[in-house]
Structure 1
Amino acid sequence: MNIIIRKMDYEDTSQVQNIAKTTWNATYEGIIPLEVQNKFLKSAYNDEMMKRRLERSIVYVAEVENKVVGFANYSTVREGGIVELAAIYLYPEFQGKGIGTALLQQAIEELDGIKEIYINVEKKNMIGLTFYKAKGFEIVKEFDDEFEGHILKTVRMVMKI
């Protein structure tokens, strides 16, 4: 399988929105109520927010056979070389094929001055936790997070570069 990782173009917006919705619904079924998921997705991935993501952060997409199948959203590098990883989302059928790793590696290679990558993961998101632990992320703290009226059990992790 030939995987191409590139910076997101605005024309990729509808594909990225679809990946976010599909992945959220599959990952958080039974963890986060569907109405909470839908409210979040509508606010965080609407066209205006996607435009802001492109202007204010770094978004990479993964293409397989000319189809966008995943994306990763990073903050810019902050003081001390800190980067926040907002999301790595892949269509479920493309998970476990090295695409998430490629999206992570792209940021490590391209973002100047990067020293640490932080991510917040829902504690019951075993797919995400397993992936991040396998990549060398370590848990730094756990906390409750109010999210659209729902309490999430959040795990904060860091990867030192």
Structure 2
Amino acid sequence: MTDQPDLTLRVADVADASSLAALSMEVWVGTYLREGVSGFFADYALAELTAAQFETHLANPQEHFIVSQNRVGIDGYIRISRGSPGPVPGCSDVEITTLYVQPRHHGRGIGTALLRAALAHCAEERVARVWLASNAENTPAKAFYLSQGFERIGETQFVIDDQSYLNDVFARRCLS
């Protein structure tokens, strides 16, 4: 599963909110702000990736978070959201909203383990199909999802205020 013998996957709880916020900030800024940090993106990240926002998400019964925890703390998580209709035909209303692993832990199987746990959760919940969106320029993420049995089924836009960014939409069956 992973090359980390001390890795544990578990369901997140409200006590994880600040860790999830910090991890999200690290991954989001490192992935998407490659040319510098503008006030526009800083304002978005500081408003959306907060402990308070994660407390709200964690309290929502339509949301399910699984975290990867090593002996020190959380190094990755996956968020599954029910009631999130897809933007293109072929999507269900269950989305893998986020899959983040700290960059220094990439290549250790954490993302694969989290994705497998999420798909198992969806199967247990009788979810036939799950979808996700990935930034169209995030080549490593897109290659990862394709290698995990997802298929590209369309495009959508990720919108921040009046600006939009192309995303590819992927889907995969959870039940055989």
Report sequence identity in percent.
19
Q: Give the direction of change, closer, same or farther, for the CA distance of 1:128–1:146 in structure 2 (3 Å limit).
A: same
> Aligned AA for 1:61?
V
| Offset, 1:102 | 1.0
Q: Give the direction of change, closer, same or farther, for the CA distance of 1:34–1:24 in structure 2 (3 Å limit).
A: farther
The answer on whether the counterparts of 2:14 and 2:59 sit within 8 Å (CA) in structure 1 is no
| Unpaired segments ≥5 residues, structure 2 | 86-90
Normalising by the residue count of structure 2, what TM-score does the alignment of the two structures yield? Answer: 0.80
CA deviations over 1:105-132 (Å, ceiling 9, x no partner): 1122223112111111110011211111
> Aligned AA for 1:6?
R
Structure 1 CA distance for aligned equivalents of residues 92 and 163 of structure 2: 32
SS at match of 2:82: coil
Residue equivalent to 2:11:
7
Residue equivalent to 2:115:
104
The answer on whether the counterparts of 1:77 and 1:114 sit within 8 Å (CA) in structure 2 is no
Structure 2 CA distance for aligned equivalents of residues 62 and 126 of structure 1: 23
1:149 to 162, 170, 174: 162
> Aligned AA for 1:98?
G
Residue equivalent to 1:18:
22
Q: Root-mean-square deviation (CA), in Å?
A: 2.3
2:138 to 97, 106, 125: 125
5 Å-filtered alignment, 1:28-39, equals 28-30=32-34, 34-39=38-43
CA deviations over 1:1-23 (Å, ceiling 9, x no partner): 12211011222122111111111
Q: Which contiguous aligned blocks of 4+ residues in structure 1 show a shift greater than 6 angstroms?
A: 77-81
Q: Give the direction of change, closer, same or farther, for the CA distance of 1:139–1:31 in structure 2 (3 Å limit).
A: farther
Q: For this pair of structures, how many residues does the alignment match?
A: 161
Greater helix proportion: 1
5 Å-filtered alignment, 1:34-73, equals 34-56=38-60, 57-73=63-79
Structure 2 CA distance for aligned equivalents of residues 44 and 116 of structure 1: 27
Normalising by the residue count of structure 1, what TM-score does the alignment of the two structures yield? Answer: 0.87
| Offset, 1:50 | 0.9
| Offset, 1:39 | 2.5
| Unpaired segments ≥5 residues, structure 1 | none
